[in-house]
Amino acid sequence: MSELPRAKHFFAPGANTVRETMVKAFKCAEALSVGYPVECIVRPVKSRRSLAQNARLWATLADIAEQLEWPINGVLQKLSSEDWKTLITAATRNETRVAAGLSGGAVMLGASTRKMTVAEMGDVIEFMHAFGAERGVKWSDKALQEAPDDWESA
């Protein structure tokens, strides 16, 4: 008995590429379907965070990391941008997930910003600016970049 062909995933990044992508999928389905049925699923995909958002995210985190301290094990201290990202992401998701550390202690688990949509990332950046403003953070030019029109639309 022969092995089933591997599944293929096709993604159309914009409305102008849907036809071309569907043609590729059709040709692939013809090649794969030698004796096997195939399943085709067409669904909308939410846009992932933009490069501009990513740049603004890290600039904002850098400003917070340089200027603020946060209690860690009861002691106020500076945190890395990555640590701030974990804290802020968990806060914007209204979730607290704490795991036992492998060598003791506790580790807070956060959501990945890499998988966030444009709208979700816009919310995180907006939250960071409100959080920092309440604590007197002076924003860099990069952290104050104007939000592109597409941030709220996705």
pLDDT tens, position by position, 82-96: 999 988 888 887 777
pLDDT at 153: 42
For residues 98-116, give the mean pLDDT: 80
- Most confident stretch, 10-14, 35-39, 72-76: 72-76
Q: Which two tokens stand for residue 35?
A: 């004796």
What CATH architecture does domain 51-146 belong to?
Orthogonal Bundle (1.10)
List, in sequence order, the alpha helices (H) in 4-139.
18-32, 51-67, 81-92, 118-134
**Which residue ranges make up each domain of the chain?**
1-45, 51-146
pLDDT digits (tens, 9 = 90+) for 111-154: 778 878 888 888 889 999 999 999 999 999 999 886 655 554 44
CA–CA distance, 95 with 90 (Å, rounded to integer): 6
pLDDT at 33: 63
